């Protein structure tokens, strides 16, 4: 095998290994929540990767029904006068632990009312978590938990990029959507990713790290950010070089009616650490970032190096979370 083939194999292995890193975190990510307040007595919060999944799967409703069937068997095990924490894994074990002893007060008509300590339930499924807060777990058997949640699922709206958390109340079986201020808030976002691309007909791989500020204005997400790209390449002697760019950028979600990402942005970078001969002195880069699908980025780039004496194109395909 000649030197060129050795280099190619090393590059392919490195690119493959780096590119799968972001996917390791996806399976553990729970990003959306649906909250239902039932008869002013119970709060149900369901955390899922994507609330659209609730429309195609009855796993959450079945889990609520399964837990409700178990409640009568817990009556002699629950403490009286203090908070309990019940943890239940669907189809598996159940444990009862001491809960948070803090007392909850409600402000009604200018007067504080002691409502006592709160019991909590955590129901864990394969791809969801259900959090239930109530004053008395034993009374949950008489409350229409699954019925209310089924009605909420039927009313879930089409998803938009800002609707990560939805809230409803269920009073006497009637559902009302509650305004959720969290969907209108700005947020700070950590960014991690990996990519592969072509620079001067040379395959390179990179890792990226950044921090951005998500600005939500009338449903339009804008995100200024600062990031760094650590770029790996091999020279003719199979030596790996590491070059580091510091970048500033700004991106926009150009389709505010859909949660399917359609981000478009611009990025300017400068080479702060240089190794090897792939990049010259004082190298700048300018890129257009486009995200055609979730966690996937395509970036045409233009490099300006050797004090702007040389200009050449490049392209990067990235994976991030």
pLDDT of res. 7: 42
The last residue of one of the domains, among 149, 183, 217, is 183
Tell me what pLDDT residue 255 has. 63
Residue 9 has a pLDDT of 46
Least confident of 6-20, 33-47, 214-228: 6-20
Q: Which letter does DSSP use for residue 180 in this model?
A: -
Q: What pLDDT does residue 217 have?
A: 55
165 and 205 co-located in one domain = no
Distance CA 226, CA 209 (A): 9
> Number of structural domains, the chain?
2
Q: Find the mean pLDDT for residues 226-234.
A: 93
In this predicted model, what pLDDT tens digit does every residue of 1-10 receive, in sequence order? Answer: 443 344 444 4
Pairing of strands 284-293, 296-305: antiparallel
Q: Both 204 and 294 in a single domain?
A: yes
Mean pLDDT of the residues in the chain: 80
The pairing of strands 202-217 and 220-234 is antiparallel
Q: Which of 167, 183, 199 corresponds to the end of one domain?
A: 183
For 130-168, write each residue's pLDDT tens digit: 999 888 888 888 889 999 999 999 998 876 655 578 889
What's the confidence (pLDDT) of residue 300?
Answer: 95
Residue 178 and residue 37 in one domain: yes
* Same domain for 97 and 173: yes
Q: Give the three-state DSSP class for 135.
A: coil
DSSP class of 193: E
Quick one: CA dihedral 61, 66, 72, 74, positive or negative?
Answer: negative
155 with 212, same domain: the answer is no
Regarding whether 57 and 128 lie in a shared domain, the answer is: yes
* Burial letters 5-24, b for 16+ CB under 10 A, else e: eebeeebeebbeebbeebee
pLDDT confidence of residue 153: 93
User: Range with the lowest mean pLDDT among 10-19, 28-37, 62-71, 83-92?
Assistant: 10-19
For 49-159, strand residue ranges (E) read 84-89, 94-98, 103-108, 111-117, 119-124, 129-134
pLDDT of residue 104: 60
Same-domain pairing of 178 and 246: no
195 and 279 belong to one structural domain: yes
Greater model confidence, 252 or 29: 252
Looking at 183, 198, 217, the residue that finishes a domain is 183
Same domain for 52 and 161, yes or no, is yes
What pLDDT does residue 110 have? 66
Q: pLDDT tens digits for 233-291?
A: 988 788 899 999 999 998 887 665 445 557 788 999 999 999 988 999 899 999 998 88
User: Token digits for 114?
Assistant: 């002691």
Q: Are residues 105 and 190 in the same domain?
A: no
32 or 272, which is more confident: 272
- Long-range contacts of the stretch 93-100 (C-beta < 8 A, 24+): 94/70
Question: Is there a contact between 133 and 42 (Cβ–Cβ < 8 Å)?
Answer: yes
Tokens 């292995």 -> residue: 13
- Secondary structure (3-state) at 274: coil
CATH number at residue 205: 2.40.160
Is residue 153 located within the same domain as residue 198? no
pLDDT reported for residue 295: 79
pLDDT band at residue 303 using 50, 70 and 90 as cut-offs: very high
Are 39 and 174 found together in one domain?
Answer: yes
Domain holding 164, by residue range, is 32-183
pLDDT the model gives residue 92? 81
């Amino acid at each position: 095998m000649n030197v060129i083939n050795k280099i190619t194999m090393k590059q392919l292995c490195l690119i493959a290994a780096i590119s799968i890193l972001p996917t390791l975190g996806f399976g553990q990510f729970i990003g959306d929540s649906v909250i239902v307040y039932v008869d002013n007595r119970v709060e149900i919060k369901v955390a899922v990767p994507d609330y659209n999944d609730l429309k195609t799967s009855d796993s959450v409703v079945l889990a609520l029904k399964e837990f409700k069937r178990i409640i009568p068997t817990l009556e002699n095990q629950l403490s009286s006068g203090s908070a309990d924490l019940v943890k239940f894994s669907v189809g598996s074990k159940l444990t009862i632990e001491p809960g948070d002893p803090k007392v909850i007060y409600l402000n009604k008509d200018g007067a504080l009312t002691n409502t006592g300590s709160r019991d909590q339930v955590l129901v864990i499924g394969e791809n969801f978590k259900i959090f239930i807060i109530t004053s008395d777990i034993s009374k949950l058997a008489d409350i229409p938990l699954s019925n209310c949640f089924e009605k909420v699922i039927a009313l879930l709206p089409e998803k938009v990029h800002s609707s990560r958390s939805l809230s409803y109340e269920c009073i006497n079986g009637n559902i009302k959507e509650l305004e959720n201020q969290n969907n209108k808030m700005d947020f700070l976002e950590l960014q991690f990713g990996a990519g592969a691309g072509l620079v001067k007909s040379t395959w390179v791989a990179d890792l990226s790290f950044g921090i951005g500020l998500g600005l939500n204005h009338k449903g339009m997400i804008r995100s200024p950010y600062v990031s760094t790209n650590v770029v790996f390449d091999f020279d003719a002697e199979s030596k790996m070089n590491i070059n580091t760019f510091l970048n500033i950028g700004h991106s926009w979600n150009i389709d505010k009616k859909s949660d399917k990402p359609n981000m478009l942005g611009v990025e300017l970078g400068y080479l702060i650490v240089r190794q090897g001969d792939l990049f010259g002195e004082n190298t700048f880069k300018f890129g257009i970032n486009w995200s055609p699908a979730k966690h996937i980025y395509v970036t045409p780039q233009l490099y300006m190096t050797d004090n702007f004496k040389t200009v050449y194109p490049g392209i990067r395909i990235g994976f991030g979370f």
